C-alpha cells in the first residue's frame, strides 16, 4: 500500500509538471520549428537523468535517520507549498492554472523574438525548450530521488516518472495542443498532500518518533491532511463570501 501511494505520487507529480513543460515546448515548436526544440528537450532530459544519477546514490550515503530527517523536511517544505497554492486556487483567491492562456502567451513571445534563417540552429527555441523541461522537471527529479532514497527503491520511482513522461508526451504528440483539460489543480492538490504526508512520516521517524500502526499511519495522515485541506478551502470560501456580503450591505 505504502509503495502504491509512493509510486502514484511520483507518477502524478511527473505528469503535472510535464503537462506544464509540454505547453512551453509546443508553443515554441509550433512557432519556431521543431529541430532545435527537440534538441533542447533531449538535452534537458539528459541533464535531469544526470541529476538523479548523481544525487540518488549521494543521498543513500547518509545514515538512515539523517536521510529521513533531510528528506522529510524537504518534502514537507515542498508539499506544503503545493497544498497552500492549491487551496488558494480552489478557494478562488488566486486564478487557476490555465494552459491555454500560457500557450498563447508563449506563442506570442516566440513569434516576437528574432527569427533565424532556414537551416540555422535556433538558440532561442533550444534555450526556451531546455529551460521549460529542465525547470519543470527538477521538482520531479527531486521527488524521484528523495522517494527512491527514503524507500530504498529507485527503479520503481524512475519507472513511475518515466510512465508519466511517456503518457504526457504521447498525448501531446497526438493532439499537438496544450493539455488544457487535464485537472492540474486537483492533481497538484493530491500530490501536495502526499508529499506533506510522507514528509511528516519520514521526518518524524528520523527524529525518533514511533508511529502507532507503523506504515498504516501513512493512510491516517493522508486522510487527516485531505480533510483539513478541504475544510480550509471551505473556510476561505466562506470568509470571502462573508466579506462580499458585508460590502454589499454597506453599499
Partner 1 sequence: MSHVRGFGRFWWDFVVGDDWRLAAGGLVALAAAGLVANTSIPAWWVAPSIVIVTLVASLGHATPVDRRDPHG
178 within 8 A of 100, measured Cβ to Cβ? yes
**101 counts as binding partner 1 under rule CB under 8 A:** no
Residue keyed to cell 470571502: 240
Which listed range, 9-17, 53-61, 82-90, 150-158, lies at the site for partner 1 (CB under 8 A)?
Answer: 82-90
Binding test (CB under 8 A) with partner 1, winner from 49, 64, 66, 84: 84
What one-character-per-residue DSSP string does 199-245 give?
HHHHHHHHTTPPPTTTTHHHHHHHHHHHHHHHHHHHHHHHHHHHHHH
Binding test (CB under 8 A) with partner 1, winner from 58, 96, 170, 173: 96
- By beta-carbon proximity to partner 1, the closer residue of 74 and 171 is 74
Least Å from the CB of residue 200 to partner 1: 5
Q: Between the CA of residue 31 and those of 28, 125, 126, 247, what are the distances in Å?
A: 5, 9, 13, 46
The set of cell numbers assigned to 163 is: 510512465
- By beta-carbon proximity to partner 1, the closer residue of 37 and 193 is 193
How many chain residues are in contact with partner 1, going by CB under 8 A? Answer: 49
Per-residue binder mask for partner 1 (CB under 8 A), 180-219, x = binder: ----------------x--xx--xx-xxxxxxx----x--
Binding test (CB under 8 A) with partner 1, winner from 3, 57, 243, 245: 243
Per-residue binder mask for partner 1 (CB under 8 A), 124-153, x = binder: --------------xx--x-----------
CA distance 222 to 81: 16
Least Å from the CB of residue 154 to partner 1: 21
65 within 8 A of 140, measured Cβ to Cβ? no
Interior CA angle at 76 toward 75 and 81, to 5°? 100
What one-character-per-residue DSSP string does 154-208 give?
HHHHHHHHHHHHHHHHHHHHHH-S--TTS-HHHHHHHHHHHHHHHHHHHHHHHTT
11 within 8 A of 161, measured Cβ to Cβ? yes
Least Å from the CB of residue 29 to partner 1: 26
Least Å from the CB of residue 172 to partner 1: 26
Footprint (CB under 8 A) of partner 1, residues 43-62: none
CA distance 49 to 28: 23
Query: Which residues of this chain interact with partner 1, rule CB under 8 A?
Result: 69, 72-74, 76-78, 80-81, 83-85, 87-89, 91-96, 138-139, 142, 196, 199-200, 203-204, 206-212, 217, 221, 224-225, 228-229, 232, 236, 239-240, 242-244
Amino acid at each position: 500500500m505504502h509503495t502504491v501511494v509512493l509510486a502514484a505520487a511520483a507518477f502524478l507529480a511527473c505528469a503535472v509538471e510535464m503537462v506544464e513543460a509540454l505547453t512551453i515546448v509546443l508553443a515554441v515548436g509550433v512557432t519556431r520549428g521543431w529541430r532545435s526544440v527537440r534538441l533542447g528537450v533531449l538535452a534537458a532530459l539528459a541533464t535531469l537523468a544526470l541529476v538523479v544519477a548523481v544525487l540518488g546514490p549521494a543521498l543513500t550515503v547518509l545514515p538512515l535517520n539523517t536521510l529521513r530527517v533531510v528528506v522529510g523536511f524537504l518534502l514537507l517544505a515542498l508539499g506544503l507549498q503545493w497544498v497552500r497554492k492549491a487551496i488558494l486556487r480552489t478557494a478562488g483567491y488566486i486564478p487557476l492554472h490555465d494552459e491555454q492562456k500560457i500557450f498563447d502567451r508563449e506563442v506570442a513571445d516566440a513569434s516576437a523574438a528574432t527569427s533565424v534563417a532556414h537551416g540555422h540552429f535556433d538558440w532561442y527555441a533550444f534555450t526556451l525548450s531546455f529551460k521549460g523541461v529542465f525547470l519543470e522537471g527538477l521538482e520531479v527529479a527531486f521527488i524521484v530521488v528523495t522517494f527512491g532514497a527514503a524507500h530504498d527503491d529507485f527503479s520503481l520511482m524512475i519507472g513511475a516518472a518515466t510512465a508519466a513522461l511517456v503518457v504526457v508526451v504521447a498525448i501531446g504528440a497526438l493532439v499537438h495542443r496544450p493539455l488544457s483539460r487535464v485537472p492540474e489543480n486537483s492533481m497538484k492538490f493530491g500530490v501536495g498532500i502526499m508529499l506533506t504526508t510522507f514528509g511528516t512520516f519520514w521526518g518524524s521517524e528520523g527524529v525518533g518518533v514511533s508511529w502507532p500502526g507503523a506504515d498504516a499511519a501513512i493512510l491516517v495522515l493522508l486522510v487527516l491532511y485531505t480533510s483539513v485541506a478541504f475544510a480550509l478551502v471551505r473556510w476561505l470560501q466562506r470568509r470571502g463570501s462573508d466579506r462580499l456580503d458585508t460590502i454589499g450591505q454597506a453599499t
